[in-house]
Chains A and B, each alone.
Chain A
């Protein structure tokens, strides 16, 4: 086999299943690729060579079988992995090795998927560019001077750089889909509650959703099927069967969308998207119409309030969730020289351990939750959430899925938006409504603008994840996949 790292997860699984290649060979090829290119890409914060090879050897011995047995995977560093350093890209957790696995990691291991390592991200998943990692940014394989999206920039870049065939991300406001869009890869946010949050380092608990990232829609669906499903350890996990997303992807790949109604959100027009993004999106829409789909314009009047509501809800929940990083039970402790009180040590620890975006959001959240402002900010934001949910429900009475560009702009150069946080937040303009509603959404590469990838977003009703995979696979069959320049 010439280059195993260029193959899809589906192809790799087939070759391993028929014993044409061994799982150890596949893992080794990816570990070698990481060693060769990651100094330039910096997708990984930690590589677990020994663990990955041991897991692969178990597959080769026939101890584990399954649709993705032996296919290696990269895991975002906000997901706990027993014995493997997990930092959420923060100094406050530097060197921490969790004593337990997240449920989705248990499922990856049970499926025989060797974990290559932990991928870079914005600190505690707060950001849209991976520039807020405490360990330095990840570079976009399409142009190393540009951002790979965030917060899951490491996972997306690992795929685009052929360092891993599959990856795990988490999506709170678009952190799987937006990196997918700007790296030319596929990223899916499952229905909230469709994948377990047990073992995720929480950012915004009512929004955080772990999900699959791949280079093709079918690969992404296969991984989705591995990690999804009810988890009794998560009180928000939905006790219902997961729809058959793999069958839906395969059906979509036949290129027939007869009878499928696509909803175009009226309020997303004139949103300031780059012309190249709009052009690629429109061309893709025409391609879907040629496959038999019908386009219907729908109105979601409250979507314009999604971004403001999100930037009150998410920081509020973060200010509460991150209270646990106090220098007592795990991670960093600063200033404990015997002369300072517990409170002083906590403050110094948190000041040194947290980066600027995390501090900004903790302070914003503390403000929004404080007495006198709660009703005006947090309470109002939760009402907006109701209105956005109603918009989605009304739209899905008219159409099967909603579609939009994933992000208003292609990958931007490093540093170009960090001085103005609200400009950075606009990167998630199209992705956030879905998080507030809780439904699934996927980003699929749909073209290039100025030589950089553009993403096409498909949003579906809650627990109808299969619907979005069908349309996504059909789009992929029409427009193909996009390969970055050689590194």
Chain B
């Protein structure tokens, strides 16, 4: 039985903001099915009482002293942007005209 259908791949692509083609949908569905069947073995071993490990070292929040320090200049922060306007990132419209 297939673990992942073509429709599910299309749904996941939408969630991921990926405009995949019809051909990619077919290909990914087949490949992801094989991968998922291979990785499903993780369910065989880990019992309820095993705690999960998210990082191999303890995480420590990084704080700095609450004093102003030099940061990236505005023009440096905008230097890699595809579009900028009056010192800000310019993005495509969010609202439809009727909104």
Chain A contact residues, CB within 8 Å of chain B: 96-100, 192-193, 206, 232-236, 238, 302, 305, 307-309, 311-312, 319, 323, 326-333, 336, 338, 340-348, 350-351, 354, 356, 359-360, 362-364, 366-367, 370, 376-377, 379-387, 389, 420-422, 425, 436-439, 462
Contacts and interface: CB of A to CB of B under 8 A. Distances in A.
23 contacts: A97-B80, A192-B57, A206-B54, A236-B57, A307-B38, A308-B41, A309-B39, A309-B42, A330-B81, A340-B92, A342-B91, A350-B17, A356-B24, A360-B31, A363-B13, A363-B16, A380-B42, A385-B52, A385-B53, A386-B53, A425-B35, A437-B56, A438-B55
B53 A311 contact: no
Instruction: Give the interface SS of chain B, mostly helix, strand, loop or mixed.
Output: loop
Nearest to A332: B82
B21 to A, nearest CB: 8
A363 B5 CA distance: 12
B51 interface: yes
A66 B57 CA distance: 31
A99 B52 CA distance: 37
Contact of B96 (A326, A341, A377): A341
A341 B94 contact: yes
Most chain B beta-carbon neighbours within 10 Å: one of A96, A333, A381, A384: A384
A421 B82 contact: no
A367 B45 CA distance: 21
A485 to B, nearest CB: 36
Contacts of B94: 341-342
Nearest to A238: B57
A343 B17 contact: yes
Contacts of A327: 82
A382 B36 CA distance: 16
A305 B82 contact: no
Contact of A383 (B9, B27, B51): B51
A236 B18 contact: no
Nearest to A380: B42
Given A192-B57, A347-B18, A311 B92 contact: no
Given A99-B76, A326-B17, A384-B45, A422 B34 contact: yes
A97 B80 CA distance: 7
B22 to A, nearest CB: 12
Contacts of B1: none
A211 to B, nearest CB: 15
Interface string B1-43: 0001000110011111111110010011001101110111111
A224 B55 CA distance: 22
Most chain B beta-carbon neighbours within 10 Å: one of A193, A206, A366: A366
Given A97-B80, A331-B80, A386 B51 contact: yes
Contacts of A232: 62, 64
B83 to A, nearest CB: 7
Contacts of A96: 80
A381 B46 CA distance: 8
A336 B83 contact: yes
Interface in B44-68: 44-47, 50-57, 59-62, 64
Q: Which 9 A-B pairs have the closest CB atoms?
A: A438-B56, A383-B46, A382-B52, A330-B80, A333-B82, A99-B76, A347-B19, A308-B39, A351-B19
